[in-house]
Amino acid sequence: MSNTNTGRGPGKTVTRADLSEVVYQRVGLSRTESAELVQSVLDEICDAAERGETVKLSGFGSFVVRAKGERIGRNPKTGVEVPILPRRVMVFKPSNVLKAKINGRDGAAEKD
């Protein structure tokens, strides 16, 4: 999805509608089917994350759920210590191919 194909410049936000439009243009599904397909993929990623599973998209990266333990934080304004409860967070780890692409190098020869 390059900027020349989408009419967006660098620094713009890609929305669900943008993804659906690209699927519509490249795959040939109807706009409704394209939107449903994109939503299904996003739903599956969300469901997997909720189950604590890693989602690995080869050549793109991995979404990993990590458990963070309880810790003590500090209010920067008042300096008062506040407990931060344990929680799960999602992190994205880009593949080497994506890192190379972002940095203007050909990532085809690099492994994920």
Residue 20 Rama label (left phi>0; alpha psi -120 to 50; beta):
alpha
Residue 22 Rama label (left phi>0; alpha psi -120 to 50; beta):
alpha
pTM: 0.71
Q: What is the mean pLDDT of residues 54-69?
A: 96
Q: What is the mean pLDDT of residues 77-101?
A: 95
pLDDT at 105: 80
Strand partners, 74: 81
pLDDT at 10: 73
Domains and CATH numbers, the chain: 1-51 (no CATH), 52-112 (4.10.520.10)
pLDDT at 8: 62
Instruction: Judge whether residue 112 has pLDDT over 50.
Output: no
Distance of CA 77 to the CA centre of its chain: 32
Average pLDDT over the chain, rounded to an integer:
89
